[in-house]
């Protein structure tokens, strides 16, 4: 059975900074407009909120200020805030926002980071104050409207908001994608030109997927993750007996049995 392939928009070599006037209309990162996730929100105030079991309230927006935060803190550029024990705190500002890619245990994902929050109670190991910050972690879930998975304090004065939905996906039908298949259609390779991402799916049993990349390369599935950040790396080889493997690299070749995919 064939499955439609989707890519979460990821790009190893780029960090995009958002200007103060950013809105849902210019929230693009490597070919995807994350503002579409914001527009799918039905909230009258066009912002997101999450209340923990302990009663802590988190409020944020995507590529824009959060109206409730700007009102409570009297600052038009606050994109993320927190209410804890009756006190409102700035946890990130629009003029200190950036998109980045982070490599987690389940592969890379896109982060929208808001820095520049207040520093009350935020002491590092050297007993120096540092600013609060927060980030939105986007997960691609094809066909799903935007939902909030969870929001919490990941570490001291750093807050994480997990969101998922179709707005974080790039369909394989995109004009930026190319695909090829083996003669018996048991192997599919899809390559996205914007993100330098190759996804290999093998429908046969007993075949190993082996991918070799040059320079900065990352390969992953739900069982393995391997990669290098060295741009001078001559080769990096990743292999798996799992039925799929996704790799991000400017130059990579994947072999499955006698079939080869090259970008």
Both tokens assigned to 117: 């929050």
> Do residues 124 and 48 share a domain?
yes
Percent of the chain clearing pLDDT 90 (strictly above): 40
Determine the 3-state secondary structure of 15 from DSSP: coil
Which letter does DSSP use for residue 47 in this model? -
Per the DSSP assignment, residues forming a β-bridge with 211 are 238, 254
Decide which of 59 and 229 is more confident.
Answer: 59
Distance CA 95, CA 98 (A): 9
Are residues 161 and 50 in contact, defined by beta-carbon separation less than 8 angstroms?
A: yes
Q: Are residues 89 and 144 in the same domain?
A: yes
pLDDT at 260 over 50: yes
Is pLDDT at 134 greater than 70 in this prediction? yes
Residue with the larger pLDDT of the pair 69 and 244: 69
Contact (Cβ atoms closer than 8 angstroms) between residue 15 and residue 207: no
- Same domain for 233 and 141, yes or no, is no
Q: What is the pLDDT of residues 185-242, one digit of tens each?
A: 888 898 887 778 888 988 887 889 999 999 988 888 878 888 888 888 888 899 998 8
Residues 73 and 125 grouped into a single domain: yes
Question: How far is the C-alpha of 76 from the C-alpha of 90, rounded, in Å?
Answer: 11
Give which of 262, 242, 107 is closest to 190, Cα–Cα.
262
0.75 exceeded by the pTM?
A: no
Number of domains in the chain: 2
Domain coverage including residue 161: 6-169
> Are residues 97 and 131 both part of a single domain?
yes
**254 and 238 belong to one structural domain:** yes
Scored b (16 or more CB within 10 A) or e, 129-154 reads: eebbbbbbbbbbbeeeebebeebebe
20 in any annotated domain: yes
pLDDT band with cut points at 50, 70 and 90 for residue 87? very high
Q: Is the pLDDT of residue 84 over 60?
A: yes
Exposure string (b/e) for 156-187, b if CB count within 10 Å is 16 or more?
A: ebbbbbbbbbbbbbbebebeebeeebbeeebb
């Amino acid at each position: 059975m064939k499955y439609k392939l989707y890519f979460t928009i990821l790009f190893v070599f780029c960090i995009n900074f958002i200007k103060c006037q950013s809105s849902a209309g210019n929230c693009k990162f490597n070919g995807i407009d994350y503002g579409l996730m914001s527009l799918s929100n039905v909230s009258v105030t066009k912002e997101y909120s999450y209340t923990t079991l302990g009663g802590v309230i988190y409020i944020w927006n995507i590529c824009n200020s959060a109206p409730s935060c700007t009102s409570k803190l009297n600052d038009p550029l606050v994109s993320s805030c927190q209410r804890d024990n009756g006190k409102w705190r700035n946890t990130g500002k629009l003029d200190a926002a950036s998109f980045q890619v982070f490599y987690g245990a389940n592969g890379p994902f896109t982060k929208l980071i808001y820095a520049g929050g207040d520093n009350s109670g935020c002491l590092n190991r050297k007993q120096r104050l540092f600013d609060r910050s927060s980030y939105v972690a986007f997960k691609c879930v094809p066909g799903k409207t935007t939902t909030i998975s969870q929001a919490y304090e990941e570490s001291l004065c750093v807050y994480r908001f997990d969101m998922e939905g179709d707005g974080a996906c790039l369909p394989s039908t995109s004009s930026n994608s190319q695909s090829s298949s083996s003669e018996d259609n048991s192997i599919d390779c899809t390559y996205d030109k914007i993100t330098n991402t190759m996804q290999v799916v093998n429908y046969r049993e007993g075949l190993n997927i082996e991918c070799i990349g040059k320079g900065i390369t990352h390969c992953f599935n739900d069982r393995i993750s391997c990669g290098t950040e060295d741009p001078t790396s001559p080769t990096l080889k990743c292999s798996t007996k799992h039925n799929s493997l996704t790799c991000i690299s400017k130059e990579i070749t994947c072999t499955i049995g006698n079939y080869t995919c090259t970008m």
